[in-house]
Amino acid sequence: MEISVKEIEKCLEANGIGYKYTGDKSAAVKGFSAINNYKNDTITWIGRKEIAQEYHPDALLVIAQDGLDVSFSNMFICDNSKKAFFTIIETFFNEDVVLTDVGKGTYIGDNVKIGKNVKIGHNCTIDGNVEIEDNTIIHHNVTIINKVKIGANCEIQSGVRIGHDGFAYSEDVDGIKTMIKHHGGVIIHNDVFIGSNTEVARGTIDDTVINEGCKIDALTHIAHNVKLGKNNGVIAGCTIYGSVRTGDNCYIATSVIRDQAVLGNNAFVGMNSTVTKDIPDNSVVVGSPAKVIRTNK
């Protein structure tokens, strides 16, 4: 299958991606490849200066980040070259397995409400007062129980667990521990991605909330009563303890966030940090314990 420049232009325009094209409009590609492992007759991408220094000069068709000093016979120059390149791949070359409406071995309880065009993989358990809105994808071996609402256009990868009680107990005078039953739920807003084998606990009284646009990597633990703001990026292996609050557009890189900590809007937590205190808006913190190293404006 060949994909022409004109077809790619229509794809970018349909997705609202701005571009400038230079070269032969009759050019066509048969696939895609990385610039450092370039394959003939494919479309490729150069997004950073470091990669541009090693680019393949004979590449047939290139998506290039605006501002890079590169030159090719056929080239799309884009403000958001990464989005452009992967939108093209997904549109024309995607070979992912297409899920059926409900996979084999999946149990769906009587009280579950499922919207339009929802796809659910094999061996899932969805039970309780659960609502899943339109166009959401649930992959294999996912458990969603108790009180959970998942918005539209979400993706929940394999092995995710949503809705179990979090870790909380009371003690008597002898130190005997009794687990506290949780009565809250989980609310996941639209356009949220949750990576494989992540755990999201329900709230003790109120709900655990993941707001619109959050992207959560694999093997993350989100404890009870956490509230993530809009468009947070949470990287693999993070532990976010109970009742943490984050603002919008936070980025947390494989770190531990102490219970009840508050992260302001646009907070950036560097890799392997331990956050023990509240973080102001626009702050970059690193270390254990995490300390502010600069403030972004």
Where is 283: in which H helix or E strand? strand 283-286
> Is 224 a known active-site residue?
yes
Nearest to 146 by CA among 119, 102, 175, 183: 183
DSSP label at residue 181? P
In 3-state terms, what secondary structure has residue 57?
coil
Catalytic member of 139, 140, 182, 224:
224
What ranges make up the beta strands (E) of 99-222? 107-108, 113-114, 119-120, 125-132, 137-138, 143-150, 155-156, 161-165, 169-171, 177-179, 186-188, 193-194, 199-202, 208-210, 215-216, 221-222
- Residue 233: both structure tokens together: 């990026």
Contact 28, 42 (CB under 8 A): no
User: Residue type for 138, please?
Assistant: I
Closest by CA position to 222, among listed 248, 245, 240, 246: 240
Q: Is 173 exposed, middle or buried (0-12, 13-18, 19+ CB in 10 A)?
A: exposed
Laid out side by side, the sheet with 20-22 consists of: 20-22, 75-78, 61-65, 42-46, 31-32
Task: Return phi, psi of residue 93, to 5°.
Answer: -125, 10
Instruction: Give me the active site residues, please.
Output: 224
